[in-house]
Amino acid sequence: MKDINEDIAWAKINTDVLKSLENPRKLYWVILAVAIAMIAVAVGCETYQYQMGMGVANMNNPHVWGLYIATFIFWIGMSHSGTLLSAILHLMHADWRKPIYRFAEAMTTFSLMTAGLFVMVHLGRLWQFYYSLPYPNERGLWPNFQSPLLWDAMAIFTYLSSSILFLYVGMIPDLAICRDNIHSGWRKKLYTALSLGWEGTDRQWRNFRVTYLTIACFLIPLAVSVHSIVASDFAMSQQPGWHVTSFPPYFVAGALYSGCAAIITLFIILRYVFRFEEYMTLSILKKTVRLTFAISMVWTYLNAVEFASVWYSHDVASKAVLIQKATGTYAPFWWMMIFCGSVVPLILAFKRFQTNIPVLLAVSLLLNLGMWLERWMIVAPTYSHGYYPWTWDHDQWPSFVQWGIVFGSFGWFTLLFMLFCKIFPSVSMYEVKEMVYHRTLAKKNLGSAKGAH
Amino acid sequence: MSVSNLLENWAEFRHTHPVDDVPHDPYKWAMSIDLDACTGCNACSVACYAENNLPVVGKEKFLHGQSMHWMRIERYWDEDGRDFPDQGAQFLPMMCQQCEAAPCETVCPVGATNHTPDGLNSQIYNRCVGSRYCSANCPFKVRYFNWYDYPTTDNVWPAEMSQQLNPDVTVRGKGVMEKCTFCVQRLTSAKNTAKNEGRIVHDGEVQTACQQACPPGAISFGNLVDADSKVFKQWKAQHVEIAEFEQAKDRGEQDNKLRGYRILEELRSYPSVMYLERVRETAV
């Protein structure tokens, strides 16, 4: 199986990809309307919560963090695979990433934008959000640089701005193609402005390569640090069940895992909707699936490490939390997390399922369900069985406000992603051409080598 | 605060960690609670509500765990299945332990909770953004969040009682964290009086509301630096050291005649409240 067919004409690549920017079908508007309705639910819930106070989210004294923090970690995690595909695999010269990294990178940016909202939704005094940023002010007040939450705020802002820059820079040659092929309307103006006068001269290409590589190198340590810092929110606290040294790598593995699963989901949807079968080939899907399988096993291993280190640590409180997770109120969710995160991915080990699209769609959604549950199972059980016995068994089920905002966040992500797909080329045209060219070269060399023989 | 000041004096902001051997001078507020004397009558809790303008949230919110009792009486039953009235209730008054190395202080993103030179763990309501990280990291779960806007929307202080609020204490709005302050308004006023008279606060000159209300006098409060204070004598008699994470009682010294301990000491947050173990065996 080939990653891409070397016979595709370059002009065809342009036509095929630009077609995805044309007027959408009816279904697009329907899904868009659903997404907006979901956002409306979330906005309604948030307005209510803003007016009334955080109490309507049904949090209480031990349970001060709820679904907001869990879902925040989920969306931050989702953002990691874009960077994996576009930056790490770029440095490793993995050609197969080329047709799929653009939408993965967009996914990174949009999931970060969603995650950022959850931090705000979570705050008791949303209107004082800026207090947690180190801005110069006349009162000389600074945030607390010891707090992992502050590192979070800074890491996320840095990662978000770098991701947007990376997404944009990588798109410039494609935006120029759009500019040259679209002759009127707001799109022409938009592409003209955004393509920054790109003409494809040698000098431009050289500068472009250097810039792209530099941002890629900058982004990789950022991606790792962002999720390590999110893990520090828990690992650096002293609560049983959170105070685990292996949390940073565990969180990073979990992040790559859910991100890869989301890439499979979006891959299948885009491939079907835009008829990108020639670019998003089954061979590439297979590689993504294998990558996901490998990461799922790393995640499973780190999970086992966490359980084992808690079990053998003789730390009574941490052990009690672990037992409570497996047998207490949250047991169904916890076991479901183990099932979705460690058992379901075993299907991906079988060759015949690695290209079976309906199975993969279902599996990728289940994996992400498992990863969402994982985050919830990190946050919630510690509160119901912490150090202090007075707080035990105060279970607090999140109210419709929390569920509504979590639900709406998926609509928000869908909306951003759908708008992106219709405004920007979701397959990198110039890199697919490169890939086709590489293959042609390889074939030619093979031919000439044969001839010489 | 300029950036250079921040870089040079950063350590100053957190200097009162007990292991740094920085003495509290001239005050280190501390408490001791005799569990043998405590009858679980809840008078301390009521006094705290009155003194500190705590909102009375009502039955429904109380059941949701959203109550605001800075001082709470915890009730534990003996586990041998006896029925009322023989089930052997044990009571534990619990409030902010004013830890010396407080887990809540380091995690606050905006620095809204800080250590004062007289050994209190202070909360700056105006600075709080409501991330609730302090509460998440508090081992005792004694921090209370304003889940609703109590002063305006909820009828927590009935209109006919508008004059009952304590004018010395701020009324907190929605979305900020609050907790026991050791009645800091009383401490401040006592310290000011003493300062004007060129002395330090005498033992017994200032009482916390809970101490004042406790019928059997189970709660003692005072200055741990002052060798004449009752609290100092109690801590000394029990061999309880503020900078230790295990006390003589737990080491089994003096044939276990000692009763003094602090809760969850092994976490090394160095609480300022000493509890005296109960010696009675009968139910209250």
pLDDT tens-digit readout, A225-260: 888 999 999 999 989 989 888 899 999 999 999 999
Q: What is the mean pLDDT of residues A431-442?
A: 82
**Domain tally, chain A:** 1
Rg (CA), chain B: 20
User: What distance in Å separates residue B239's CA from the closest CA in chain A?
Assistant: 25
For A346-363, the pLDDT digits (tens) are: 999 998 888 888 999 999
**A223 assigned to some structural domain:** yes
Query: Where do runs of H (alpha helix) occur along B10-77?
Result: 43-51, 59-63
Taking residues A106-117, report their average pLDDT. Answer: 92
The residue among A118, A147, A152 with the most chain B CBs within 10 A of its CB, best to mutate, is: A147
Residue A449 lies in a domain: no
Residue at token pair 């990461």 = A295
Give the percent of chain A with pLDDT over 70: 98
Q: By CA distance, what is B6's nearest residue in A?
A: A142
CA distance B135 to chain A (A): 7
Provide the 3-class DSSP secondary structure of residue A259.
helix
Nearest-CB residue to A124 (from B2, B14, B132): B132
pLDDT for A405 equals: 95
Tell me if A386 sits within 8 A of B141, measured CB to CB: yes
> How far is residue A322's CA from residue A325's CA, in Å, rounded to a whole number?
5
Distance from CA of B204 to the nearest CA of A (A): 32
Dist. CA A409–CA A393, nearest whole Å: 30
Instruction: Read off the pLDDT of each residue in B28-34 and give the average, rounded to a whole number.
Output: 94
Per-residue pLDDT, B21: 53
Greater model confidence, B267 or B87: B267
**Residue B72, H or E segment:** strand B72-76
Radius of gyration of chain A (CA): 23
C-alpha closest to that of A375 among A156, A227, A159: A227
Residue for token digits 């040259």?
A180
Query: What is the pLDDT confidence band of residue A329, given thresholds at 50, 70 and 90?
Result: confident
d(CA B125, CA B130): 10
Mean pLDDT, residues A408-431: 91
B236 pLDDT band, cuts 50/70/90, is: very high
Six-digit token string for A275: 């008829």
ipTM: 0.88
Which chain B positions have a beta carbon within 8 Å of A137's beta carbon?
none
**B6 lies within 8 A of chain A by CB:** yes
For chain B, the maximum distance between any two Cα atoms, rounded to a whole number of angstroms, is 65
Residues B64, B70, B75: CA angle, nearest 5 degrees: 70
- Rounded CA separation A167/A112 (Å): 13
Query: CB distance A124–B177 less than 8 Å?
Result: yes
Pairwise pLDDT comparison (A69 vs A279), residue with the higher score: A69
| Contact present, A237 and B139 (Cβ < 8 Å) | no
Four-CA torsion A59, A125, A159, A345, nearest 10 degrees: 10
Average pLDDT for chain A: 88
Average pLDDT over residues A429-437: 84
Residue B274: phi, psi to the nearest 5? -100, 135
For residue A431, give Cα distances in angstroms to A16, A79, A172, B31, B68: 14, 22, 12, 70, 60
User: Coil, strand, or helix at residue B59?
Assistant: helix
Average per-residue pLDDT in chain B? 86
Give the mean pLDDT of B144-171.
83
Cα B139 versus chain centre, distance: 13
Question: Under a CB-based contact definition with an 8 Å cutoff, are residues A46 and A93 in contact?
Answer: no
CB within 8 Å: B131 and A123: yes
For the stretch B87-130, pLDDT in tens is 778 899 999 999 988 899 889 999 899 888 888 999 999 999 99
pLDDT recorded at residue B16: 47
- Asked if residue B223 lies in contact with residue B32, where contact means CB atoms within 8 angstroms, the answer is no
Q: What is the pLDDT of residues A354-390, one digit of tens each?
A: 888 899 999 999 999 999 999 999 999 888 888 988 8
Q: Determine the pLDDT at residue B19.
A: 47
Peptide bond into B167 cis (omega under 30): no
**At B268, is the pLDDT very low, low, confident or very high (cuts 50, 70, 90)?**
confident
Contact: B61, A55; criterion CB under 8 Å: yes
Q: Residue B9 above 80 pLDDT?
A: no
Residue A429 within a domain? yes
Q: Which pLDDT does position B17 carry in this prediction?
A: 53
How much is the pTM?
0.91
Q: Which residue has the higher pLDDT, B257 or B43?
A: B43
Chain-centroid distance of CA A97 in Å reads 16
Q: Are B271 and B247 in contact (CB under 8 A)?
A: no
The angle that helices A357-384 and A247-273 make with each other, rounded to 10 degrees, is 150
In sequence order, which residues have a C-beta less than 8 Å from that of residue B76 and are 6 or more positions away?
A389, B89, B90, B91, B92
Q: Is the pLDDT of residue A452 over 50?
A: no
**Cβ contact, residue pair B176, A61, below 8 Å:** no
- pLDDT range class, residue A279, cuts 50, 70, 90: confident
- Of the listed ranges A275-289, A414-428, B29-43, the least confidently predicted one is A275-289
Q: Which of A170, A384, A412, A356 is nearest to B136 (CA)?
A: A384
Q: Pick A226 or B81 by higher pLDDT.
A: A226
Contacts of B130 in chain A (CB under 8 A): 54, 123-125, 128
Q: List pLDDT tens digits, range A206-217.
A: 999 999 989 988
Is residue A13 in some structural domain?
no
What is the spatial distance between Cα A417 and Cα A103, in angstroms, rounded to a whole number? 8
Q: Which of A226-230, A425-429, B8-12 has the lowest mean pLDDT?
A: B8-12
pLDDT of residue B5: 60
Inter-chain CB proximity A387 and B61 less than 8 Å = no
pLDDT at A432: 84
Mean pLDDT, to the nearest integer, of A389-413? 89
Q: How far apart are CA A412 and CA A396, in angstroms?
A: 27
Let me know if residue A451 belongs to a domain: no
Q: Does B175 touch chain A (CB under 8 A)?
A: yes
Q: From the CA of A242, how many Å to the nearest CA of chain B? A: 10
Is residue A431, in this structure, part of any structural domain at all?
yes
CB-based contact B136 A239, cutoff 8 Å: yes
Region A140-149: mean pLDDT is 86
Instruction: Give the whole-angstrom CA distance, residue A251 versus residue A224.
Output: 9
Instruction: Write the CA distances from B169 to A82, A373, B187, integer angstroms.
Output: 52, 43, 12
Question: Phi, psi at residue B79, to the nearest 5°?
Answer: -100, 20
Chain B residues whose beta carbon lies within 8 Å of the beta carbon of residue A383: 136
Q: Which of A164, A162, A143, A163 is nearest to A153 (CA)?
A: A143
C-beta separation of B16 from B115 below 8 A: yes
CB proximity under 8 Å: B 198-237 to A: none
Domains, chain B, ordered by start: 18-276 (3.30.70.20)
- pLDDT for residue B191 is more than 90: yes
pLDDT higher for B244 or B158?
B244
Q: What is the CATH number of the domain that holds A161?
A: 1.20.1630.10
- Is residue B197 within 8 Å of B213, Cβ to Cβ? no
- Among chain A residues, the shortest Cα distance to B141 is held by A62
Q: How confident is the model at residue A88 (pLDDT cuts 50, 70, 90)?
A: confident
Whether the predicted pLDDT of B15 surpasses 70: no
The rounded distance, in Å, linking the Cα atoms of B53 and B70 is 11
Secondary element (H or E) of residue A262: helix A247-273
- B130 within 8 A of A123, measured Cβ to Cβ: yes
pLDDT of B284 over the 50 cut? no
Q: Residue B49's pLDDT band (boundaries 50, 70, 90)?
A: very high
User: CA A277 → CA A170, A373, B152, distances in Å?
Assistant: 23, 33, 60
The answer to whether B247 and B219 are in contact (CB under 8 A) is no
Decide if A453 is inside a domain. no
Return the DSSP state at B206. S
Mutation for A interface: B66, B129, B152, most A CBs within 10 A:
B129
Structural domain containing residue A37? 19-135+142-438
